[in-house]
Structure 1
């Protein structure tokens, strides 16, 4: 008996056992009119079942265990919530169970009704140690079924991410522009400098930039000053001017810069240095203040991309990776892959979150359409699914795959997975 209780949930839900001439442990005839609905909350495993035992039709709940004695181990005998259980379904009936009122609880034993071959197929499929259990079978599942479940996992993934957005939104008293600004900053830090960018965004409000939207030098001074990069003595004119301006702005707005030591440069390509990313961030603010409001109005992917392309990055950065070292031919624009990353992780997320928060399906649909328009993200997880025969042709699918792997494959929740259920039915 090398299977979890969830396996019996599956067997009962889909009648994957010999249900001809059923009898209870007491020898009474038993007929399943309706097996009930799986309950994922506290209480009996299946609700609203309808069972015919002898000459009586019972309507109520069904509880499932590997052994009938598990009823006592789980203390159901003292829990009134289980008084309405009309049938105890077990793999092995090892003890008689009575309700609180003393009546014997009817039991259906499945031990000799589930084929040994079916159990073996389950163990082979779901107890594998590979990265994802159905690696050898998923190619045989109809694409419509795979795509349908990936749609579900994609929604799950974005709903989880939406919780983080709404927490920040609540912290900022419902200010969507400021919330977007913080997430946008974190996204520009990508994995390595995400936290420093987040702390930097908290150090200076977007509203401060808005007061100087017509003066690019002051915005650049605010960005690099709040990020902690203007504390040195500089030789070149540009950083010296930034430092001078920031000394005044710092006092005016009571800005507390982050420690420059938190920024990471090691083992990074120079075009990904935080100084370059900050220069791009400053240019983005200069070009599009209150960016979230603009994004809410733009429906076309090409137009969305334009918000992050051809940014007015200060010419200094064409010959510098940081203030004190001059170089040549520096790329100052955000690359296409990075723009796609921003559209995925910030723009699509905020459209989805705003739609969820306001109950507006229009914005949720726009988020999904955007994901379907973006090319699939390439990563080790998506590549393994592709090699196994899954077609991943958009960011919609690749995000669904990540959720599938993290929340179902890694947790061995194959019996809660539409793909896993289909494979087991085929077995």
Structure 2
């Protein structure tokens, strides 16, 4: 009969627990990644929404203009359904990393051996006076249903913000026959993530579709009695409105981590293996994770992209299992993901690979800005990203191209 090791005996006496705070895509994919990597012990996922995870990107896109699309956003758990403890409709109110305990909104206390922070973000709202009825943000499935009900032909929709969500909502509203105005503080749509030239090119397409932009403007107040009837801009210009959608960014949900000595000024600061402040057997996933990516530099950044939730979940599982095995962290390769995202804005399709937002210049690699094109982004002469407007068949080519460029430069930097 084989002799049981001390380690085997400890496992039988104490079933270790990985607690995942956050029950959306990042939490689901983390649980699946843990199981795929061979973790057979306890996994608890705590989610503030009462429903099982669903995919969020469609909420600001086709789902707003397609009456049947709500049935297509649910995610089907693959390896994390029967043997994962899902605690939904409950939020984590406080974490104690030293004591390895989570305090939940229903009074429960969960003890853990490893912790994954996957609590995502909350949409920002404008501190603007006026009625609240008719004003919306867009983050959850319930938010999307509420906006969907508002979008009817002839209605006047004002979108505040011209980032990806703002432009996606505007395009969906226009497709439903609404009159659409977009108010943005920047001089052009999507200025920060894509730059002036590409932002102008995309904005021109929306303008041609009948969407009116008001660049360089902010909201002074909302008018109306029982619900919003108009928006007054900072220059006094008045926009009639039946519906207002505020798409002015988001705030990471990290207050539950306060008191642990972590840097939570913008998400939670992580090391190169996604560990919270370098604390062993912890990790952050998705929108809350701020980490250095040496494909670009050593500056910690957050990436609010769907694919990054998947990639960080896989890395979190590797880090957690590695740390619980008590192996030295230097034996685990640093996390160097290639960021990517897509945006469907009516008839406009945008694909991005790399990090175009940190570039100092760009150039058209193929096609023309007035039509379909591929645009390369550079910083100090080095490629950092590529963006495609249209050209879906060239997506794989440019993803491979920028990946090869970035990983080669990273390897050369390490060797040097």
TM-score normalised by the chain length of structure 1: 0.23
The structure with the largest strand share of the pair is 2
